[in-house]
Structures are given as C-alpha cells and as structure tokens.
C-alpha cells in the first residue's frame, strides 16, 4: 500500500481561509484515499519549536487534531495520527541525513534565505529543518506529501537525499513522487486563496489585526454573518466572477461555493445577471454562519480523551514503522549489524 503523509501545524485558532484552503481539502483527500493508502497525519511539533517556545504547544496540538476530526476526518485502520516528538526515529534519522546533505544544498533553500541567511544569531534549526522534513517523509516510505507550493523545494531536496542515499547503500528509501505528480494527485487546478474581507487585494490571514477582515473558526455564527455583510465589494453593480476586476464579489462567490460544497461554476451561474450585492451577501452570510454552527457543534463533541486514544494507536504504529526503517539505515552506516 502506498502512503500519503501530511503534517498539520499545532496552531492557534484558524481562519475560514485556513479551513477552506488547507484543512478541508486535506480531510477530503484523506477520506478519499483511506481505503487504498496508508494515511499518516502527524503534528510536526519539533518544527514548531524552531521559531520560539510556545507555552501552549501541547494544547494547540490537541486543538489542531480536533479541528481535523470536526472537519470530518474519518479515522479507520489505515489512518494514523501521531506527534513527531513522540517518535524519536525522526530526530535520529535527521542526524544521519545531516551527514548526507550538503551545506550547499541547504544554503539554496529559499525558506532559509528569506528567514535566516547571513544572520549569525539565527538558530541552526531554521537552517536544518528541511533535513528533519526529509526524515519525516523517508521514515514512512511516503509517496505523496500534500503541501503548499512554498514547500516544493523541500520535496525536491528529500528526493535528492533519498536517491543519493540509495545509490550508495541500496534501495532503502522510497523516493517520493515528483512535485508535478504530487500536484496532479492533489487534484488542485488552482490553489484556493480566500481574500481578506476588507482589503480584497490581500489574502485572509490569521495574523491580520483587523477583526472584520477575517472570519475565525470560533467566531459566533452571527458575528461571522455581520463580517460578511460588511465585506468590501465594488461599485460596478454586477455579480461576475473576476478576481482581478471584482475581487470582493468573486471572493464571496468562491466562499459560497466552498462552504456549501457546490461547484464554483454552478454558483457563478446562479448569480449571473444579478445586480443586488446585498442579496448575495445575505446568502453567503447565511451559508457561512450555518457552516460554522455545524463545525462548532462537532468540535465541541470531540473530547481530549478521543484525541489521546487516537494518538496512542498512531504513535505505536508510527514507532514500529519508523524504527524498522531506522534500523536499516543504521545497518547501512555500520551503526548496527
């Protein structure tokens, strides 16, 4: 059986953009493939500590996992949930791969260039985390790793490390699929980018200060509806999907489609020729508040105990699989016979 592997960050409260653009597509992908793939969903908590120590890391980890369950993730015997820090093989393999990766190739990582290049005070974790990421992937022979475009370079690095390793030591690692094939597998034609409700040139972000610019997953449904009603539109007086000319209106149509699970083309057709922005806003406001109500009700039903029980099973599985791979690698390096 092939393996899909995805990391979900231990996060603070998420926005509707995070939900529609990242959480929901991932849950749908996992549900679609959980009968013919192993689906590994892990919280990369060792990656979280790179930026800073977060006093709420444990709490945020559990909350993130609850979000996935509330978003409809079906857990069966092929779906495994685990925390990176509870599977020591990740750190072990990272060290060994550090002895395979070169300074040159890590220096080329754009994420590092943006965040740390040239700063001597930057921690080594920022430089090295692509290698930890390679370990996260290679330990499980993962084929598909659904990720954003900003991470493609790290997939390529993982492929290069695996191929270099295999050339020297034999076929120990599965080389993950090329990024182009990853994208095909994800069935993403266009990346979903929900816009900021007030400043429609920007994407909706949880770190944006203005409360009315973003819908948070824990917003009171009524409050969320009000935010939609006050969203920026334009003065053209026609409802047409065109992200460049009418980003505000297009954003509302896009949200309506995703929240009601209707093809965008159908939503566009329904509103074609309409001119009353207020009517569109009312409809989207109602759809969003209904979605939030359902999501929040489900979320309140997911207990800590449920999450910890899933982690117990998942971490047992992950340690078994990862240790097996690590032993092979240790043998190759003459660390064991």
Q: Which residues are catalytic?
A: 115, 203, 206
Pairing of strands 2-7, 37-43: parallel
Q: How far is the CB of 265 from ligand ATP (least distance, A)?
A: 19
Q: Is 208 helix (H, G, I), strand (E, B) or coil?
A: coil
Tell me whether residue 40 or residue 200 sits nearer to ligand ATP (CB atom).
200
Tell me whether residue 207 or residue 235 sits nearer to ligand ATP (CB atom).
207
**Which whole-number Å values give the CA distances from 302 to 53, 70, 193, 298, in the listed order?**
27, 7, 28, 7
Q: Which range in 17-25, 31-39, 237-245, 273-281 contacts ligand ATP by CB under 6 A?
A: 17-25
Rg (CA), the chain: 22
Q: Is 15 in the site for ligand ATP (CB under 6 A)?
A: yes
Q: Order of strands across the sheet with 79-83?
A: 2-7, 37-43, 79-83
Q: Is 261 helix (H, G, I), strand (E, B) or coil?
A: coil
Tell me whether residue 131 or residue 194 sits nearer to ligand ATP (CB atom).
194
Tell me whether residue 204 or residue 326 sits nearer to ligand ATP (CB atom).
204
Contacts for 48 with CB less than 8 Å, ≥ 6 apart: 9, 10, 54, 57
Q: How far is the CB of 23 from ligand ATP (least distance, A)?
A: 8
Q: Is 115 in the site for ligand ATP (CB under 6 A)?
A: no
Q: Is 17 in the site for ligand ATP (CB under 6 A)?
A: yes
Q: How many CB atoms lie within 10 A of CB 296?
A: 16
What backbone torsions phi and psi does residue 144 show, to the nearest 5 degrees?
-120, 135
Please answer whether residues 56 and 45 qualify as being in contact, where contact means their C-beta atoms are separated by less than 8 angstroms. no
Q: How far is the CB of 208 from ligand ATP (least distance, A)?
A: 7
Site string for ligand ATP, 168-207 (x = CB under 6 A): ------------------------xxx--------xxxxx
Q: Which residue's CB atom is positioned nearest to ligand ATP? A: 21
What are the residues binding ligand ATP (CB under 6 A)?
A: 15, 17-18, 21-22, 148, 192-194, 203-207
């Amino acid at each position: 059986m092939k393996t899909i592997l995805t990391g979900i960050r231990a996060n603070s409260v998420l926005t509707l953009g995070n939900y529609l653009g990242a959480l929901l597509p991932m849950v749908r992908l996992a549900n679609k493939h959980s009968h013919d793939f192993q689906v590994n969903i892990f919280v990369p908590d060792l990656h979280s500590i790179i930026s800073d120590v977060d006093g709420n890391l444990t709490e945020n980890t559990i909350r993130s996992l609850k979000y996935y369950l509330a978003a409809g993730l079906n857990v069966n015997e092929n779906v495994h949930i685990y925390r990176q820090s509870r599977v020591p093989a990740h750190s072990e393999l990272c060290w060994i791969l550090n002895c395979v990766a070169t300074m040159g190739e890590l220096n080329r990582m754009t994420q590092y260039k943006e965040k740390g290049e040239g700063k001597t005070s930057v921690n080594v974790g920022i430089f090295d985390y692509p290698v930890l990421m390679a370990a996260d992937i290679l330990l499980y022979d993962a084929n598909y790793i659904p990720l954003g475009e900003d991470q493609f370079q790290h997939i390529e690095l993982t492929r290069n490390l695996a191929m270099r390793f295999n050339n020297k030591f034999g076929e120990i690692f599965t080389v993950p699929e090329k990024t182009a094939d990853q994208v095909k597998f994800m069935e993403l034609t266009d990346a979903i980018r929900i816009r900021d409700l007030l400043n429609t040139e920007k994407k909706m972000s949880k770190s944006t200060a203005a409360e009315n610019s973003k819908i948070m997953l824990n917003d009171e449904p009524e409050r969320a509806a009000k935010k939609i009603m006050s969203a920026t539109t334009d003065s053209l007086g026609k409802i047409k999907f065109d992200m460049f000319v009418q980003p505000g209106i297009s954003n509302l149509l896009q949200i309506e489609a995703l929240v009601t699970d209707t093809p965008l083309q159908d939503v566009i057709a329904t509103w074609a020729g309409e001119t009353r922005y207020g009517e569109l806003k009312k409809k989207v406001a109602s759809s969003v508040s209904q979605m939030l109500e359902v999501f929040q009700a489900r979320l309140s039903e997911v207990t800590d105990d449920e999450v910890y029980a899933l982690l117990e099973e998942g971490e047992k599985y992950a340690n078994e699989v990862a240790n097996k791979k690590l032993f092979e690698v240790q043998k190759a390096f003459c660390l064991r016979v």
